[in-house]
Structure 1
Amino acid sequence: MRALVVAGSEGVRVISRSGREVSSSFAEIRALAHVIGSRRVVLDGEIVAIGAGGQPDFVRLQNRIHRTRLTTALLRDVPVCLYLFDL
C-alpha cells in the first residue's frame, strides 16, 4: 500500500494514496516519532505485510488497512514494514 508519512514535533501521520489518514491502522509506523524526534520529514513509501514465504502479501495487509483498533494479537500476527522510496 503506497503511503506518505508526515512526521514532526506534532507526531506521525500516515496518509494513503487517496489522501485518507490511516495512522490508527499502523502503530508500528507511528513509532517512528521516537527516531525522528522534532525534525519535520515527509517519507514516501510502501507499507507491506510479509507472508510466510518472505514475499509481500497484500491479502495479509488487507487485515490491517481499515482497522482503527489494533489488538496485540493482530500486531503480532500481521506486522507491517515501511519500505521507503523518497525522503
Structure 2
Amino acid sequence: MVWAKEAKKSFSQIKSIHFTESETNEYKEQLLIKIRNKILSMMEAMPAHEPEWKGNYRVLVDNYKVFYSFSNDKEVCTGDC
C-alpha cells in the first residue's frame, strides 16, 4: 500500500490528550492494520460519493474516512485520509 503525501501528514498529526505517546503510537499501528484489512475485504465495493474523489473508493475506520484507489493490475493501492 502506498500512502499519499497528505495522508502521511494527516496520520502523523493523530495525537491524544488522554493517552501517552506510546499508547497513541500503538493505536496508530493497530489503525494501519484495520485500514489495510478493511480495504482488502471491501476492495471496490464502496465507491466514493464525493465529487473530488470520483474514481476512488472509501472506507470508514474508527471514524476516519479513508479514500483509496488501485493500479490497473490491482497490485498497488494508494490511500489518503
Structure 1 length-normalised TM:
0.27
Structure 2 length-normalised TM:
0.28
More strand by share: 1
